[in-house]
Amino acid sequence: MSDPITALAAAGLAPVTDPDVLAAHSQDHAGLVPPGAALALVRARATEDVSAVLRIVSEYGVPVVPQGARTGLAGAATAVDGAVLLDLSGMDRILSIDPVDRLAVCQPGVLNAAVSAAAAEHGLRYSPDPGSWQISTVGGNIATAAGGMCCVKYGTTPEYVLGLEVVLASGEVMRCGRRTAKGVAGYDLVRLFCGSEGTLGVVTEATLKLSPIPAQRLTLAAVFATTADAGRAVTAIMASGAQPSLLELIDNTHLRALEDLRPMGLPTEAAALLLVCADADPAAELAAIEGLCEAAGATEVYRATDAAEADALLQSRRDAYHAMEKLGTVLVDDVAVPRARLAEALDGVQAAAERHGVLIGVIAHAGDGNLHPNIIVHPEDPASLAAGKAAFDEILAMALAMGGTITGEHGVGLLKRDWLERELDPVNLAVQRRLKHALDPLGILNPGKVIAH
Amino acid sequence: MSDPITALAAAGLAPVTDPDVLAAHSQDHAGLVPPGAALALVRARATEDVSAVLRIVSEYGVPVVPQGARTGLAGAATAVDGAVLLDLSGMDRILSIDPVDRLAVCQPGVLNAAVSAAAAEHGLRYSPDPGSWQISTVGGNIATAAGGMCCVKYGTTPEYVLGLEVVLASGEVMRCGRRTAKGVAGYDLVRLFCGSEGTLGVVTEATLKLSPIPAQRLTLAAVFATTADAGRAVTAIMASGAQPSLLELIDNTHLRALEDLRPMGLPTEAAALLLVCADADPAAELAAIEGLCEAAGATEVYRATDAAEADALLQSRRDAYHAMEKLGTVLVDDVAVPRARLAEALDGVQAAAERHGVLIGVIAHAGDGNLHPNIIVHPEDPASLAAGKAAFDEILAMALAMGGTITGEHGVGLLKRDWLERELDPVNLAVQRRLKHALDPLGILNPGKVIAH
């Protein structure tokens, strides 16, 4: 056969070439990353489909872009020119739940929320909780090593991935990892695929670690008049030996945007609101944290009196991004800095906002030192876009200067590929390239993402 | 210069070639793995020394075997013919402790116990606790991805390694990972080096995650008349949503050996003793676990009345291996099976013992399904050695047949290299080899360990 589309069709893979469909599947939530022109879309239904697609694209030297729900924020799922888009969202079955070994086996297109719902029937949960948990897939979470609000106590997605089935660039199918709680047989391939954004292989099945649902959880909110006070509270909490199960910060810009979205009595004059949950011995834990917040200068500390009030507070944090969307197009940044430098980073973001004349609000996984500066731009105005991008870059540079990282949890994708070379040393970059070449010698797997050739 | 020893000496690395010194440094605790004849020993004092050694061995095509305290149990630190032994135990400085970011930066030769002691001054601990924690090094723990008793709640060594400085085969020095709580910039090289047994690079510095010391911990012991009852208790505990911070099993053979070593009133008629700790809301947690043990048929459940009694119980678990050493040479096995199959695995080990006429006691990280069958052999008697090795192999085959792994936490080294090919599928093995080749094209880094060429 003379062309890849004919070959895909002959293999029964029903390639879609309708330009409207391709356009609709060519971007993820990194809306400002320009997509390439895709060649075709294939909707995989089984591992065999993925294997067949990869054999064919290898044969024709055509790039392939694996996609889940395309909720990523760094452009890892963005189309590249001439690519076959490989949609895995239809591989959406949970294959088994084992309550004794506390694991779930599922296909990559299963939604994060669906795993949690299935686990809950056994008193278990799937801990990783990216902001997109209701709409993002397990495969996408693995590909981006997704974080979330749970991480301050419970860690990120890769810590919950025990085993994988992966289709390699050649179309060969491999299993790695294990079903047991522990295992060290050979190199840790599972962790290598986690966060590799589809550039090393395509995940077609995952064995996930489940955890008991904490018996109780309590929530408090603390109001601060200055970012310095809020930062001091976070430092004091983390230095105290406390283990909050959530420690989030909402800045003044977001508080006002949220209150505009839906009035709920948020303190719109505050510099920052901290939300803190505890779930081990929560009454005692929150009593200690409350004292630390007051000592750091909180103007008000209040505990949610019931689960409904706690949920409303946490929902405000989850709605923060949507509240900002009312103000323009949001360019989402994602940096992590040492925890002790949180206040300094918050002030640095505002300085960048003022310098470039753009509006930037920050929500932060404060306990992890992980900030999401949400930069409002108006793409139809080139000056606004340029100013937003300049602020974006300045924030990345600030994070690196603080000993932090250009991406705490969203990944590199296309959005930050050039910045990876500023974070990693040349020897490290060379190793990254050698690994890419070892697993994808033809360079067909999501080319251009994570690392440049 | 015409030979590597002259080159090492000229570089100021003071190679030692005294045959007695080389012999003393040629084995780790896998005593039955025969060592090769080393060429020289170099004691590294700094990263520059490691870099210089690797440049020289690369130039001369000579193998290098990185070594810490040589307490490993799989032969990863065993000399190979013609190798330079690279002793990192002198690089033993803790460089910094940061209580807010909860991390320690240290050299690879620092003892695990020394990190914990330094962290304790800040109310923190270094969680990973392999049995060797008082005598093994951080570098060795990282190289073997060491486990321990904490894992059932707190995970294994790799989960506590945030960043590394690594010297590559070429002598180039690389940093990977981060100092921040989260970060996803590029492929996860840190996890690739964890557990790679010095076959991909040599770790010269590590940034480790510290954790708060739990405020309180309570301990109980439960006595079982049959392994089936003990296994049922473990299954019930783990299916209940309980999160014990330790869940260990000592079998009858070990109970008797321990009582012979030092009488302390252990139940020498019992089939198994379970030790359980809890550290979140421990009184309530242990009450629930006590009930589950009784329901599973425990003949006796008692709680340690004070810390001294709890420590004595845990010390008996830690002494189990030494107690067995009084009975002969111990061939230590290490398999993990799905938790629900613990009792079946225990019975399978005893069946293998009877079939081959050898004594095997089992201690187990029961909550992880990770068994250590300690096989007593008398190496001076070829028949005893052959019987022990046959039982050893049978136990590995059993673990694989149960959906488990040939190594839960000790690693592959030389001891189980041939077995790796039975656990991993051919595609996975080919990927492992490609990664090895990508990072060590000349094959000089600890050759023959983990994977065969």
B441, part of any domain: no
Q: For residue B452, what pLDDT is reported?
A: 78
Smallest CA–CA separation between A56 and chain B, in Å?
19
Q: Is residue A176 in some structural domain?
A: yes
Please report, for the domain that includes residue B41, its CATH number.
3.30.43.10
Residue A1 pLDDT class (50, 70, 90 cuts): low
Say yes or no: A206 and A247 in one domain: no
Residues B37 and B52 in one domain: yes
Neighbours of A166 (CB within 10 A): 28
Is A170 inside any structural domain? yes
Query: Does B52 fall in a domain?
Result: yes
| CATH of residue B127 | 3.30.465.10
Cβ of B99 within 8 Å of Cβ of A451? The answer is no
Cross-chain residue pair B98–A434, CB shorter than 8 Å: no
CA distance, residue B305 to nearest chain A CA (Å): 22
Q: From the list B174, B176, B424, which residue is nearest A185 (CB)?
A: B424
Q: What is the DSSP letter of B445?
A: B
Q: Are residues A120 and A203 in the same domain?
A: yes
Cβ contact A367:A306 at 8 Å: no
B168 to chain A: closest CA residue: A427
Q: Cβ contact (<8 Å) for A241 and B123?
A: yes
Q: Do A407 and B184 touch (CB under 8 A)?
A: yes
A158 and A182, same structural domain?
Answer: yes
Task: Encode pLDDT of B260-294 as tens digits.
Answer: 999 999 999 999 999 999 999 899 999 999 999 99
Q: What is the per-residue pLDDT for A452? A: 79
Distance CA A322, CA A324 (A): 5
Token pair belonging to A3: 């062309």
Say if B413 falls within a structural domain.
Answer: no
DSSP state of B83: P
pLDDT of residue A453: 65
Supply the pLDDT for residue B434.
98
Please state, rounded to an integer, the average pLDDT across all residues of chain B: 96
Domain tally, chain A: 2
Closest Cα in chain A, distance from residue B163 (Å): 12
Choice among A190-199, A211-220, A392-401 with the minimum mean pLDDT: A211-220
- Across the interface, do B439 and A437 touch by the CB < 8 Å criterion? no
> Are residues A265 and A243 part of one domain?
yes
- CA–CA distances in Å: residue A7 to residues A2, A43, B145, B267: 8, 15, 45, 70
- Cβ A174–B336 below 8 Å, yes or no? no
Chain segment A189-210, per-residue pLDDT in tens? 999 999 999 999 999 999 999 9
Confidence of residue B31 (pLDDT cuts 50, 70, 90): confident
Residues B387 and B258 in one domain: yes
In a domain, A54, yes or no: no
Average pLDDT, stretch A89-98? 98
- Asked if pLDDT for residue B453 goes beyond 70, the answer is no
| Gap between the Cα atoms of B36 and B29, Å rounded | 15
CATH number at residue B276: 3.40.462.10
Same domain, A236 and A197: no
Q: Assess whether B208 and B222 both reside in one domain.
A: no
Q: Are A338 and B179 inside 8 Å of each other by CB?
A: yes
Mean pLDDT of A314-324: 93
Tell me if B336 and A183 make a contact (CB, 8 A cut-off). yes
Whether B298 is covered by a domain: the verdict is yes
A220 and A280 belong to one structural domain? yes
Residues in chain A closer than 8 A to B451 (CB atoms): 186
Using a CB-CB cut-off of 8 Å, the residues of chain B touching A437 are 438
In this prediction, residue B1 carries a pLDDT of 64
For residue A74, which residues of chain B lie inside 8 Å, CB to CB? Answer: none
Of the three residues B212, B247, B275, the one that is the final residue of a domain is B212
CB contact under 8 A, B100 and A158: no
Q: B171 and B286 share a domain?
A: no
CATH number of the structural domain spanning residue A307:
3.30.70.2190
- Are residues B341 and B252 part of one domain? yes
Are B368 and A182 a contacting pair at CB < 8 A?
A: yes
Read off the pLDDT of residues A23-34 as tens digits, 9 standing for 90 and up: 999 999 998 899
Gap between the Cα atoms of A191 and B156, Å rounded: 14
* Residue in the block written with tokens 């395509």: A202
Residue A100: inside a domain, yes or no? yes
Choose the closest CB to B408 out of A100, A180, A213.
Answer: A180
Residue A428, min C-alpha distance to chain B (Å): 6
Of the residues A212, A228, A257, the one at which a domain ends: A212
Question: Is B199 a residue whose pLDDT tops 90?
Answer: yes
List, for residues A159-184, the tens digit of each pLDDT value.
999 999 999 999 999 999 999 999 99
**Nearest CA-CA distance, residue B263 and chain A, Å:** 33
| pLDDT over 70 at B163, yes or no | yes
Question: What are the residues whose beta carbons fall under 8 Å from the beta carbon of A119, sequence distance 6 or more?
Answer: A97, A104, A125, A126, A210
Residue B449, min C-alpha distance to chain A (Å) = 10
- Residues contacting residue B377 through CB under 8 Å, at least 6 positions apart: B32, B328, B329, B330, B331, B358, B384, B385, B387, B388, B389
Per the CB < 8 A criterion, the answer to whether B99 and B93 are in contact is no
Where does a domain end: B87, B115, B131?
B87
pLDDT at res. B174: 98
Report the pLDDT value the prediction gives residue A5, as an integer from 0 to 100.
97
Statement to judge: residues B182 and B62 lie in one domain: no
- From chain B, pick out residues whose CB is under 8 angstroms from the CB of A416: 185
ipTM of the complex, rounded to two decimals: 0.96
pLDDT digits (tens, 9 = 90+) for A35-85: 999 999 999 999 999 999 999 999 999 999 999 999 999 999 999 999 999
Query: How is residue A120 written in tokens?
Result: 């809950």
**Average pLDDT of every residue of chain A:** 96
Which one of B180, B240, B420 makes the best mutation probe of the A interface by having the most chain A beta carbons within 10 Å?
Answer: B180
A vs B: CB pairs below 8 A: 268
* For chain A, percent of residues with pLDDT exceeding 70: 100
Q: What is the pLDDT of residues B51-83, one digit of tens each?
A: 999 999 999 999 999 999 999 999 999 999 999
Expressed as residue numbers, the domain containing B161 is 94-212
